Chain A
């Protein structure tokens, strides 16, 4: 059974720092992996999608990498801003369904 783990559970950094969020999964037979942002009490905003054949994807200040064989993905956020404060969720696509991690709660201090 696929299990997705995210570390750290929470992170507090000063504005301007570069940071890395980690995601690991137990079964490497995935179709793709998505990173989402969730603001308190709100829906899920898709940030990046990495196909199983890809190694990384970039969108603005965000860069996500995927190492399928080792069951790991990282989300790199460059030059963090207070507006980046949210929970970041990693989800692996296990044949038309997403299996989510518990998320990393990020606070960027001004």
Chain B
């Protein structure tokens, strides 16, 4: 069964460093998303992406964040200068249309 994959499973970085989180959505899906979950808190929407551009972004998704689909399979989230409060589990998801979203296993980001 097709699934969303994410790498790495765990990333540890120093404050101020840039990180890139990678996702491979399900191959026939057209809509891609990033969510995050700070430990003990709700899952929060960050950004949606369709047709090579951002469809919608939340207040969390400020200038420090960017997304890209560099090729036909990968979807990336970049954080330019990480802060302690960026420590969270980051989930990638994909969907065919405005329908069921399928989530990856997540990347745990720890900022020291």
Spot the interface stretch: A58-66, A68-76, A78-86, A87-95: A87-95
The size of the chain A interface, using a CB distance under 8 A, is: 23
Q: A100-B44, A102-B42 are in contact. Are A93 and B103 (CB under 8 A)?
A: no
Spot the interface stretch: B11-19, B74-82, B94-102: B94-102
Which residues of the partner chain B approach A95 to less than 8 Å between Cβ atoms? 56, 98
Report A26-62 residues with CB < 8 Å from chain B CB.
Answer: 31-32, 34, 36, 41-46, 49
Determine if B25 is an interface residue (Cβ-Cβ < 8 Å).
Answer: no
Binding site for A on B (CB under 8 A): 31, 33, 35, 41-45, 48, 50, 55-56, 58, 91, 93, 98-106, 108
Known: A49-B99, A98-B35, A98-B45. 5 other contacts (CB 8 A): A43-B103, A44-B91, A98-B33, A100-B42, A100-B44
